[in-house]
Every structure is written in C-alpha cells, then in structure tokens.
C-alpha cells in the first residue's frame, strides 16, 4: 500500500476508531485474488469485544462507500483486534501487557523472558523467573535497550482473580 493511501485511510478512519474509544493500531491493504483486502487492527486498554469490531466495521464500510479512498475495485474489509503474537512496539502495548510474560530481544545482552511488573516513560520493571528452584529476581530494562518484544502465551498460569477467590 502506498504511503499516501495509508495516510489518507488513517486520516479518514482514525476519527471513527477514536469515537468508538479504540486505538487504530494498523491499516494493511493486500491482494486476495482479484480483490483487495483492507485489514484494520484496533485495540484498547480493556481489549476489543466482537460487537465493537462489528459496529466499527459497519461505520468504516459506510465511510469508505462515501469516498473513493479504496478506488473503484472490489475489496474485503476486515476489522479485528491484534493477535496474541503481535510485537510490542508502542508504550501503550507495554502498559497493556503489565502482568504478562514477555520475550525481549535486547540489543546488547541477548534474549530475556520476564514478567512486566511496571511501565513508565523510560522503561520496564521486570520479574525474571528463577532457574532450578531459585527465587525470581527483579530487573530494570530501558526502552532503548529493547530490539524486539512479544507477549509469551501462558497456558497454565492461574488468573489472579481465581487466586483471590
């Protein structure tokens, strides 16, 4: 997708996404056979409900029908939330991942798997799991030390709400 088309779509759609109290994370236009695929990724601090995606999809569809932003050809519109394996790239992504286990690729010191305890403007406070029965340790990592970051999927972690019950 050209930068101008991307900027135009973002300018057109961002007010609709903001009105739904969501963040516009990504706009992607790709080919799907003869048609094009317009994928809109949205998120919020509380996650995104399926109904919110459906309502937003209708609003976006109406707005695109009013304009020529997608041109004359056919396209498929998909509005969804980011997948669990989405990279953490924005400050808000780290804030939303507080309490979650993340895999960090650090510029200088390799890979680190740790739980995010806190986030501020400079970086992350982490809990690094102990190895072979040792207690976990805390560690501070500045944002500029991080090359890549992703949430690690945990299948056996107890929910804190379950623990409190």
pTM across the whole model? 0.72
Cα separations in angstroms, 128 against 88, 92, 100: 18, 21, 12
For the chain, percent of residues with pLDDT exceeding 70: 93
pLDDT bin (cut points 50, 70, 90) of residue 164 is very low
State pLDDT tens for residues 112-145.
999 999 999 999 999 998 888 889 999 999 999 9
State pLDDT tens for residues 26-65.
898 888 788 889 999 999 888 888 999 999 999 999 999 8
- The H or E element that residue 18 is part of is helix 3-19
pLDDT for res 158 = 55
User: What span, in angstroms and rounded, lies between the C-alpha atoms of 150 and 79?
Assistant: 22
Is residue 163's pLDDT more than 70?
no
User: What span, in angstroms and rounded, lies between the C-alpha atoms of 63 and 13?
Assistant: 8
| Closest CA relative to residue 47, chosen from 99, 93, 89 | 93
């Amino acid at each position: 997708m050209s930068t101008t088309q991307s900027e135009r779509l973002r300018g057109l759609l961002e007010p609709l996404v903001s009105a739904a109290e969501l963040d516009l994370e990504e706009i992607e236009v790709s080919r799907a056979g003869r048609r094009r695929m317009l994928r809109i990724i949205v998120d919020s601090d509380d996650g995104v409900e399926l109904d919110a995606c459906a309502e937003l999809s209708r609003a976006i569809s109406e707005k695109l029908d009013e304009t020529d932003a997608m041109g004359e050809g056919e396209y498929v519109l998909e509005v969804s939330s980011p997948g669990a394996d989405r990279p953490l790239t924005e400050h808000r992504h780290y804030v939303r991942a507080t309490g979650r286990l993340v895999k960090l690729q650090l510029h200088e010191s390799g890979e680190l798997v740790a739980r995010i305890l806190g986030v501020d403007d400079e970086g992350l406070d982490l809990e690094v799991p102990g190895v072979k029965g040792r207690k976990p340790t805390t560690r501070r990592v500045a944002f500029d030390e991080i090359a890549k970051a992703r949430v690690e999927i945990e299948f056996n972690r107890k929910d804190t709400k379950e623990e409190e019950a």
